[in-house]
Copies of this chain bind each other. A is one copy, B any other.
Amino acid sequence: MNSTDTLVKIIMDRWNGAMKNCDELLNTLTDEQLAKETAPGKNRGIYLLGHLIAVHDAMLPLLDLGPLKYPQLAKPFLEEADKVATDLPSVQELRTQWNEQKQDLKQQFEKLSTSNWLEKHTAVSAEDFAKEPHRCKLNIILTRTTHLTYHTGQLILLK
């Protein structure tokens, strides 16, 4: 394993660790707890759960792994703030999608090599990527990892 492989590993380990922590937390929270606000007047647990699924779903086209699987989540959980949409999916539906997505991402990510992770993501042009090689697929994983831990820090307040 060369030093580039080592750094890919530490980032993927951190993503997998953050997903595991959030997943274990979600399994300890009841549907009733997820229906509550994380702090008075702030986002509810159900909104954060839907938001994480929608953000992780949006990684698929960015990483050139196919189209969105849950396009219906973009409007209520990305474009709109919490408590705007009047017909959210149930916590149970979101839990099912979280679990499906967790397995799917794990399987897809395990197939990618170090050189795949260093390829450009789809939102940057080839011309820009030649000058800015840090705008690679692995950078998407890293920014989504810190996004995930940010919201996990909020979800834990529901306990």
Contact = CB atoms under 8 A, between A and B. Distances in A.
Interface in A25-44: 38-40, 42
Nearest to A3: B4
A91 B1 CA distance: 46
A145 B149 CA distance: 9
Interface in A135-159: 136, 138-139, 142-143, 145-147, 149-154, 157
A26 to B, nearest CB: 15
Contacts of A2: 4
A10 B134 contact: yes
Contacts of A136: 6, 10
Those 10 A-B pairs whose CB atoms lie nearest each other, nearest first: A153-B153, A150-B153, A7-B7, A39-B39, A39-B157, A146-B149, A149-B150, A3-B4, A149-B149, A153-B154
